[in-house]
């Protein structure tokens, strides 16, 4: 698959639990951004990493942390999950910061029960 | 908020009709992008128009940008049922392309 790959596609967790979402950007893309989308509404900007450095943070809860690794893949660690964390989580990548040609992954659907 | 009084939330048209969606933004941006999101999929970029461009075309799509009024439009000519999706405009909120900030979107339903 030459696109942005997200895993898992679907996940169900209990309230208070933990989860890890993974994003593999397009080869060579070092800019990775995460978004949250609830009920098909607008995409909320969560956080951006470029060249393994956090560049901007938006609505990312303090219970979540995101890291970008040497191969530019990104992981979102989610803890103390709350019911309102139930949403689609998308990541997108672009070649470099300042390049707006983003490609989105297919998303991870998280359901907290 | 980054956004002005937004485009219509939902549009329902017949296949073959033309449609225009609008958005207005409040913060300077170097680019405006239009995305389409089909059910169960991630957004896909349709058109990127830079602040020094007034119009950009791609197939049946035409985007315009008016930086003086900070507004943009996306037109689709000869719509198809497969154009049914949510359409978002997005800006970089003055970051020079480092992130994409999405508007609330317009839900377009094209009936065969």
Neighbours of B26 (CB within 10 A): 12
- Note the pLDDT of residue B5: 47
Q: Looking at the domain assignment, is residue B75 inside a domain?
A: yes
Residue given tokens 């956090």 in the structure block: A54
Q: Which of B43, B86, B96 sits opposite A98 (nearest CB)?
A: B96
Q: What is the mean pLDDT of chain A?
A: 93
Chain B: give the shortest CA distance to residue A97, in Å: 5
Nearest Cβ partner for A56 among B30, B43, B98: B98
Tell whether A14 is covered by a domain. no
Residue A27: which domain range? 19-97
A9 within some domain: no
- Which residues in chain B have Cβ-Cβ distances shorter than 8 Å to A25? none
Is the Cβ of B27 closer than 8 Å to some Cβ of chain A? Answer: no
Report if residue A108 sits inside a domain: no
What's the pLDDT score for residue B1? 60
A62: closest CA of chain B, how far (Å) = 20
Closest CA to B39 of B111, B112, B109: B109
Model pLDDT for residues B25-82, shown as the tens digit of each residue:
888 888 899 999 998 899 999 999 998 999 999 999 999 999 999 999 999 999 999 9
Is A82 inside a domain boundary?
yes
Residue B64 inside a domain? The answer is yes
Q: Is residue A104 in a domain? A: no
Show the beta-strand stretches assigned E in A25-81. 31-37, 43-50, 53-57, 64-68, 74-78
In a domain, A110, yes or no: no
Residue B89 lies in a domain: yes
Contact B97 A99 (CB under 8 A): yes
For B22, residues 6+ apart whose C-beta sits below 8 A from its C-beta are B7, B71, B72, B73
Residues of chain B numbered 6-25 and touching chain A (CB < 8 Å): none
The CATH number given to whatever domain includes residue A33 is 2.60.40.10
Domain span at residue B60? 10-111
- Look at residue B81 and give its three-state secondary structure: helix
CA distance B65 to B73: 7
How many domains does chain A divide into?
A: 1
Stretch (H or E) spanning B72: strand B71-76
Identify whether A7 is part of a domain.
no
Number of domains in chain B: 1
Given a cut of 70, whether residue A99 has pLDDT beyond it is no
| Assigned domain for B5 exists | no
- Summarize pLDDT for A60-82 with one digit per residue, the tens: 999 999 999 999 999 999 999 99
Classify residue B1: in a domain, yes or no: no
Is A1 a domain residue?
no
Chain A residues in contact with B84 by the CB 8 A cut-off are none
Nearest to A41 among B39, B41, B104 (CB): B104
Identify the bridge partners of residue A111 per DSSP, sorted by sequence position: A12
Beta bridge partners of B32: B49, B91
């Amino acid at each position: 698959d030459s696109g942005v790959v997200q895993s898992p596609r679907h996940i169900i967790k209990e309230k208070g639990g933990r989860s890890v979402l993974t994003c593999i950007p397009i080869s060579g893309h070092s800019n990775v951004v995460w978004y949250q989308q609830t009920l098909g509404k607008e995409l909320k900007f969560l956080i951006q990493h470029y060249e393994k450095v956090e560049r901007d943070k938006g609505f990312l809860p303090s219970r979540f942390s995101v890291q970008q690794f040497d191969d530019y893949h990104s992981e979102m660690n989610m803890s103390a999950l709350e019911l309102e964390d139930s949403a689609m989580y998308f990541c997108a990548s672009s070649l470099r910061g300042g390049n707006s040609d983003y490609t989105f992954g297919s998303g991870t659907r998280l359901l907290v029960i | 908020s980054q956004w002005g009084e937004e485009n219509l939330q939902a549009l329902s048209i017949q296949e073959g009709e033309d449609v225009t969606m609008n958005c207005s933004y409040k913060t300077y941006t170097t680019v405006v992008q239009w995305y389409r999101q089909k059910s169960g999929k991630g957004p896909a970029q349709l058109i990127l128009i830079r602040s020094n461009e007034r119009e950009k075309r791609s197939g049946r799509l035409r985007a315009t940008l008016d930086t003086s009024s900070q507004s943009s439009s996306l037109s689709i000519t000869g719509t198809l049922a497969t154009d049914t999706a949510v359409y978002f405009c997005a800006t970089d909120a003055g970051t020079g392309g480092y992130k994409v900030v999405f508007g609330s979107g317009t839900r377009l339903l094209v009936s065969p």
